[in-house]
Amino acid sequence: EAQVTQNPRYLITVTGKKLTVTCSQNMNHEYMSWYRQDPGLGLRQIYYSMNVEVTDKGDVPEGYKVSRKEKRNFPLILESPSPNQTSLYFCASSLGGRRGETQYFGPGTRLLVL
């Protein structure tokens, strides 16, 4: 089944404790992206990747890192989480990253930083 998977789905952590949220897609997509969703603000892009070893900042990259060493994986790293990073995170992918392509979203990761 074609899908985007994220792990973990739920995570409670404390301020300053490094964490990684994994994202994997099995559709051989070149484009992958991370979003966070907050009440009243909607979805906002954190980072995106057009292909292996090609990443770029989105609209809200502060406090986050990403890497794209393999085509299928695009982990999101919070090196020193803070309470303002409490949010619902979505990973998404699309075929080539061209304008207008349908993006396929993962199930979301709900993060609480205490």
Query: Binding residue for other proteins (CB under 8 A) from 34, 48, 64, 74?
Result: 48
Query: Binding residue for other proteins (CB under 8 A) from 12, 80, 107, 114?
Result: 107
- Give yes or no for residue 108 binding other proteins (CB under 8 A): yes
Rounded to whole angstroms, the Cα distance separating 48 from 91 reads: 9
Tell me whether residue 8 or residue 16 sits nearer to other proteins (CB atom): 8
What's the distance, CA 114 to chain centroid? 20
Rounded to whole angstroms, the Cα distance separating 50 from 37 reads: 22
Q: Given CA atoms 42, 66, 78, 59 in this order, what sign does their dihedral have?
A: negative
Residues at the contact surface with other proteins, assessed by CB under 8 A? 4, 31, 33, 40-45, 48, 50, 90, 92, 94, 97-103, 105-108
